Structure formats: C-alpha cells, structure tokens
C-alpha cells in the first residue's frame, strides 16, 4: 500500500480501560508507519498509560468531559484553543478510534487531508466527515472492543495484528514500588495478591466485606500477602478497609498510574471489580479475577485465557466462595508453572 503519511494524529478519548483496549491498534499503527510522527490525543489517565507504551512520539492531553459538559462559553473557548493547537501541528492524517461528534469535528477541523474514522453510524457520530477509502467495517456492539479498534485500522492494510494489550513498566516506577514494599516489610519471594474494591459504576462494586473475606481465605489457606489498591474515589474508604482486612494487609492508595502498573506487575493474581485497573493488571501480564454484574461475558473483558471471569445477575449475588475458588486456581497454576520452570532449569 502506497499511502505514507508523515504526521499522524490518533484520537483516543476513551476511559482508562478503553485506552488499554486500544493499545493493540496503536501498536499496529506504529508498526505500519514506523517513520511517521504519531501524536495521540487522550485524557489525563490515558496519557500516563500511553507514556509506558512507547507507541506515540507525542501525547496530547485533552479534557474531553470539559470540552463537552462544561459551561457553554467555557467549552467553546476550550474547543477553539484545542482546534488551534491541532491545526498548528499540520497533521496530514487523522485516525479517530471513537467517532463521536466532538472527535469527528476535531479531526475535520485539524486540516488533515486524510481522515479515517470508526464507523459507528449512530446519532453520536458525524461519520460523513471521514474521507478515507476503503472504509472500515461498521462497528458492532457484539465485537470485542480490542477488535473494534483493530477494525478501524484494517483499511491501512493491517491484518492479523496481535490483539493482546501489552504495557511495559519503567525502572523508576519499579524502584518506587520496591521501596514501598520494603517499607511494608514484604519478604523477597513472598506471593502477592492484589485487590481493587472500587469501580466508577456503583452497580459494579462487590461488597467490601466480601473482598475482606476473600483476602482472609487467601492469607490463611494460600499463605500470600494481600495488597489493597485504592484510587482517589476509594480513598475515603481506606480507614474502613483497614478495620475489615486481615492483619498484615498492605494498602496502596497514593500511587500514580505508572506506579500502579509497576505494582501490579509484581502480583501473582489481581482480584477486582469490572473496572479500569483490572485491564492494566492484565496488560502488564498478571492473571486477573474479574467480578462482573452480569450472567455472561461482554465485549470489554481482558484478553487472554489465563484470566477468570466471575458472573452474577448482580454483584451482590456472587459468593465469596466462587471468587476465592477462581483466585485459588490461578495461584495453583502459578505455583505449578514456577515448579515446572525450576525443574526444567535443573
């Protein structure tokens, strides 16, 4: 394919988990155009993640919610400022992975000659502003989100791209996490299991007492050390968590997103509600147990056969025993793999 843009803007305004799911598409774009200058427009949490990926030459932080939902005059001012900033960059190609009103308009007003947009074709999209041929296939809500993003870039001749999101942690963040673990007297070789009891959507939050029970089972039966992670939204819950969780539990509630990724890379298993951090854990290579408020899989689950999805008609209906069993199975598999590697080495 002769198409060879030199200055590319990728619009990637999704939530934290969405940005993780977009990583295979971003990697495919980077490999397809190795010599191009690639700028990714993304929200603040996504910016911190993309800094670990290495797929972008530049990252443009955009407050999409502020652009869309702020006071009208303020929003217009912010939009005009962003459009001016984008036009000055003189992009020759725009890839819009989301295809919303605001992202379609940003791509159009960027001045880029070529515009490839996701084909949402809903009342939230202005797809007619795209002009790239051939067009991508129409987006289907039944298709996994990773594959939806990869479908957008298939017209570029990208086929059979690896679909597993991958994040690499930095040495500086790993050193910071090591220092925090040392402060908590974590022993070398000690198995660590992470728990994330929060979620942006309250209907997805498994009862905190249940998480504490799972932590206690894992500590007593599997001889692991528990780390509870909390973000800004969960920080006010930490005092209550300290009362509920077993003695010796480590609480990390002040980590940056890159530090969170580095800490998750240290874990043997990560147990979480269905929310963004579970996708980061999977992307750094940690098996995850995802607690889900539904009776079947959906299109936003972590990619990989090593993960466990625990379903229920509501999160409250999911038993402690079911979640513990899933985590215990992953721990057993990890120990088996470790023994196999030791035997093979000797």
For helices 101-109 and 72-88, what crossing angle results, to 10°? 40
Q: If pLDDT is split at 50, 70 and 90, which confidence band does 2 have?
A: confident
Task: Look at 336 and 274; give whichever has higher pLDDT.
Answer: 274
Taking the C-alpha atoms of residue 5 and residue 116, their distance in angstroms, rounded to an integer, is: 12
Q: Give the pLDDT score at 343.
A: 42
pTM: 0.92
Q: If pLDDT is split at 50, 70 and 90, which confidence band does 68 have?
A: low
Q: Give the pLDDT score at 335.
A: 76
Residues 161-215: pLDDT tens digits? 999 999 999 999 999 999 999 999 998 889 999 999 998 777 789 999 999 999 9
Superfamily for domain range 171-345: Glycogen Phosphorylase B; (3.40.50.2000)
- What is the overall mean pLDDT for the chain? 91
Q: Give the pLDDT score at 338.
A: 55
Share of the chain above pLDDT 70, in %: 95
Q: Give the pLDDT score at 339.
A: 43
The mean per-residue pLDDT over the stretch 102-124 comes to 91
Q: Which CATH number fits domain 7-156: 3.20.20.60, 3.40.50.2000, 3.20.20.70, 3.30.420.40?
A: 3.40.50.2000
Domains 7-156 and 171-345 share a fold: yes
Task: Look at 242 and 298; give whichever has higher pLDDT.
Answer: 242
Task: Look at 107 and 200; give whichever has higher pLDDT.
Answer: 107
Q: Give the pLDDT score at 337.
A: 63
Per-residue HEC secondary structure of the chain comes to CCCCCCEEEEECCCCHHHHHHHHHHHHHHHHHCCCCEEEEEECHHHHHHHHHHCCCCEEEECCHHHHHHCCHHHHHHHHHHHHHHHHHCCCCEEEECCCCHHHHHHHHHCCCCEEEECECCCCCCCHHHCCCCCCCCECCCCCCHHHHHHHHHHHHCCCCCCCCCCCCCCHHHHHHHHHHHHHCCCCCCCCEEEEECCCCCHHHCCCHHHHHHHHHHHHHHHCCEEEEECCCCCHHHHHHHHHHCCCCCEEECCCCHHHHHHHHHCCCEEEEECCHHHHHHHHCCCCEEEEECCCCCCCCCCCCCCCEEEECCCHHHCCHHHHHHHHHHHHHHHHHHHHHHHHHHC
Q: Give the pLDDT score at 345.
A: 42
Share of the chain above pLDDT 90, in %: 77
Q: Where are the domains of the chain?
A: 7-156, 171-345
Taking the C-alpha atoms of residue 158 and residue 150, their distance in angstroms, rounded to an integer, is: 8
Residue 344: is its pLDDT beyond 50? no
């Amino acid at each position: 394919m002769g198409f060879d843009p030199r200055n590319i803007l990728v619009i990637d305004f999704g939530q934290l988990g969405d940005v993780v799911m977009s990583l295979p598409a971003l990697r495919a774009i980077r490999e397809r155009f190795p010599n191009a200058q690639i700028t990714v427009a993304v929200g603040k949490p996504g910016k911190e993640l993309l800094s670990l990926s290495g797929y972008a030459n530049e990252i443009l932080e955009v407050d999409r919610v502020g652009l869309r939902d702020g006071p009208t005059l303020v929003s217009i001012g912010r939009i005009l400022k962003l459009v001016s900033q984008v036009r000055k960059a003189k992009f020759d190609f725009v890839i819009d992975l989301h295809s919303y009103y605001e992202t379609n308009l940003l791509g159009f007003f960027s001045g880029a000659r070529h515009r490839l947009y996701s084909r949402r074709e809903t009342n939230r999209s202005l797809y007619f502003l795209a002009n790239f041929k051939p067009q991508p296939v129409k987006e289907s809500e039944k298709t996994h989100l990773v594959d939806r993003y990869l479908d957008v870039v298939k017209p570029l001749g990208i086929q059979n791209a690896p679909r597993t999101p991958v994040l690499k942690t930095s040495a500086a963040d790993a050193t910071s996490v090591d220092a925090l673990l040392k402060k908590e007297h974590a022993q070398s070789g000690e198995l660590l299991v992470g728990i994330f009891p929060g979620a942006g959507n309250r209907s997805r939050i498994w009862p905190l007492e249940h998480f504490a029970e799972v932590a206690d089972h894992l500590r007593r039966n599997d001889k692991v050390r528990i780390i509870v992670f909390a973000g800004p939204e969960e920080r006010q819950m930490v005092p209550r968590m300290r009362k509920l969780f077993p003695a010796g539990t480590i609480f990390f509630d002040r980590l940056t997103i890159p530090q969170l990724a580095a800490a998750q890379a240290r874990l043997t298993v990560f147990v979480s509600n269905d929310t963004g951090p579970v996708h980061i854990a999977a992307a750094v290579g940690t098996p995850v147990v995802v607690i889900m408020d539904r009776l079947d899989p959906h299109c936003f689950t972590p990619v990989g056969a090593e993960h466990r999805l625990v379903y229920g008609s509501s999160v409250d209906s999911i038993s402690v025993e079911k979640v513990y069993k899933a985590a215990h199975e992953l721990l057993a598999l990890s120990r088996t793999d470790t023994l196999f590697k030791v035997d093979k080495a000797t």
